[in-house]
């Protein structure tokens, strides 16, 4: 076991050793931290499909949950031939000299601290969203990254879709006219944490203390471990977890960075159990010259949409299949011709974009600034919910306050 002080004593040497540009024949060693469904089936699988063209190899797989760790090792061995080292503690993985980059797919409350530690260890990073659940962890992570030369990609993969890139080009050029409101309704028959709670876990197969991480110590609770999405200590709720996809797309397409003010209402109205994340939430964020509304109601799968309202029409971004978003012209002030679509823009998949940037050292599609912006939005929304007040973001002081 590597103690925190010992880990950071060696981190400067590790960072210095990592400051190099790889040649095409140099293989990049990657470690996966967090081997659940997202870690294996989306991120490890997503990277390994580009294994040959990117010349990468998974050399370590870390998870406190034994079965998940073993599954990741077995999957990587099947796909790439070589077997990554199974690791229980993430700091042990970060100390491995044969790793150049890491993918972090752990519970929400661990993202920011693990990103900070990984960058200090000299690793390039792909980290899942939301980046942070509070401003203190967010600022530490952002400042650490910006003081380094590490390549960091936020896991907001929707912005890299060709449809998203086309919408950005279309709206930036004035194609939709003046955009004045953006909305998403994202409902579901049941909260997403219910299916996670179906996973059975024995205390002997995991490290409960490591899971709790920087939260208040508590007795073993298998439901908090498996259904962590439903507990506010580990994930605030849909306005901070699902909304992050939407709000990052808003920032990407409009070019705006952080909201000014926010009001939020929500609670548990349909699924009353031990889990305390809200099952219904409504939040409104104000930007410089438009409003953004996000809503989730669990208990129905009806009514889902995502739309950008402009004076020339409404961009319907509800379908994230990658095909160009259609423009609806009904009711527009100065309507575009029917059948208008944004231009098709070619774009690498989000994971491939990061892998390419590891070699070119260019900034990826969702750099640390994107993580700061989406985190401010979701933290602002959550603070408005729990305080029952309108909350304001002060960009100069980098704080959130009532106002």
Phi, psi of 266 (to 5 degrees): 175, 175
pLDDT per residue as tens digits for the range 126-135: 999 999 999 9
Residues 290-319, mean pLDDT to the nearest whole number = 98
Strands of the sheet containing 179-185, edge to edge, are 327-328, 313-316, 305-310, 179-185, 291-297, 280-286, 261-267, 391-394, 399-402
User: Exposure string (b/e) for 134-154, b if CB count within 10 Å is 16 or more?
Assistant: ebebbbebbebbeebebbbbb
Q: Check: CB of residue 57 under 8 Å from CB of residue 51.
A: yes
- Asked whether the predicted pLDDT for residue 85 surpasses 90, the reply is yes
- Asked whether the predicted pLDDT for residue 2 surpasses 80, the reply is no
Q: Round to the nearest angstrom and report the end-to-end CA distance of the chain.
A: 47
3: pLDDT confidence band, cut at 50, 70 and 90? very low
Q: What six digits make up the tokens of 196? A: 């996670």
Least confident of 14-18, 96-100, 265-269: 14-18
257: pLDDT confidence band, cut at 50, 70 and 90? confident
- Asked whether the predicted pLDDT for residue 12 surpasses 90, the reply is no
92: pLDDT confidence band, cut at 50, 70 and 90? very high
Summary mean pLDDT of the chain: 94
Burial of 179 per CB tally in 10 Å (0-12, 13-18, 19+): buried
**Strands 399-402, 391-394: pairing kind:** antiparallel
Q: What does the alpha-carbon distance between residue 53 and residue 353 come to, in Å, rounded to a whole number?
A: 12
- Asked whether the predicted pLDDT for residue 310 surpasses 90, the reply is yes
Q: What does the alpha-carbon distance between residue 170 and residue 344 come to, in Å, rounded to a whole number?
A: 10
Q: What is the pLDDT of residue 24?
A: 63
Q: Check: CB of residue 379 under 8 Å from CB of residue 368.
A: no
Query: Which residues on adjacent β-strands are paired with residue 126?
Result: 103, 153
- Asked whether the predicted pLDDT for residue 20 surpasses 60, the reply is no
Q: Which domains does the chain have, with CATH numbers?
A: 4-150 (3.40.50.720), 160-347+375-402 (3.30.360.10)
Three-state DSSP at 262 gives: strand
256: pLDDT confidence band, cut at 50, 70 and 90? confident
The pTM of this model reads 0.94
Residues 65-91, mean pLDDT to the nearest whole number = 98
Q: What is the pLDDT of residue 357?
A: 98
CA-angle at 275, arms to 273 and 280, nearest 5°: 90
Q: What is the pLDDT of residue 19?
A: 52
pLDDT per residue as tens digits for the range 358-398: 999 999 999 999 999 999 999 999 999 999 999 999 999 99
């Amino acid at each position: 076991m590597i103690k925190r002080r010992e880990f950071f004593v060696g981190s400067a040497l590790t960072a210095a050793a990592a400051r190099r540009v790889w040649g095409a024949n140099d293989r990049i060693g990657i470690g996966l931290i967090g081997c659940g469904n997202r870690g294996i089936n989306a991120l490890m699988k997503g990277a390994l499909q580009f294994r040959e063209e990117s010349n990468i190899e998974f050399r370590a797989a870390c998870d406190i949950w034994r079965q998940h760790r073993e599954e990741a090792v077995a999957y990587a061995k099947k796909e790439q031939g070589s077997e990554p080292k199974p690791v229980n503690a993430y700091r042990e993985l970060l100390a491995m000299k044969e790793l150049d980059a890491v993918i972090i797919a752990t519970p929400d409350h661990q993202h920011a601290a693990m990103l900070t530690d990984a960058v200090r260890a000299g690793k390039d990073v792909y980290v899942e969203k939301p980046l942070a659940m509070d401003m203190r962890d967010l600022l530490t992570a952002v400042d650490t990254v910006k003081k380094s030369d590490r390549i960091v990609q936020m896991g907001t993969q929707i912005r890299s879709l060709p449809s998203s890139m086309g919408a950005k080009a279309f709206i930036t050029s004035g194609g939709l006219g003046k955009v004045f409101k953006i909305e998403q309704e994202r409902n579901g028959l049941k909260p997403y944490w219910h299916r996670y709670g179906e996973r059975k876990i024995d205390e002997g197969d995991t490290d409960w203390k490591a899971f709790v991480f920087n939260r208040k110590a508590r007795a073993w609770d298998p439901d908090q471990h498996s259904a962590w999405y439903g507990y506010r200590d580990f994930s605030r709720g849909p306005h901070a977890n699902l909304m992050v996809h939407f709000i990052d797309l808003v920032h990407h397409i409009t070019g705006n960075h952080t909201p000014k003010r926010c009001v939020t209402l929500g609670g548990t109205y349909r699924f009353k159990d031990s889990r305390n994340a809200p099952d219904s939430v409504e939040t409104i964020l104000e930007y410089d010259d438009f409003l953004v509304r996000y809503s989730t109601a669990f208990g129905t799968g009806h009514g889902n949409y995502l739309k950008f309202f402009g004076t020339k029409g409404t961009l319907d971004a509800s379908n994230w299949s990658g095909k160009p978003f259609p423009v609806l012209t009904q009711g527009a002030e100065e309507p575009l011709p029917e059948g208008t679509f944004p231009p098709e823009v070619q774009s690498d998949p989000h994971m491939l974009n990061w892998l390419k940037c590891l070699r070119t050292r260019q900034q990826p599609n969702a750099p640390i600034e994107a993580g700061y912006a989406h985190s401010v939005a979701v933290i602002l929304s959550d603070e408005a919910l729990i305080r029952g007040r309108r909350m304001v973001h002060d960009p100069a002081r980098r704080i959130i306050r009532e106002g």
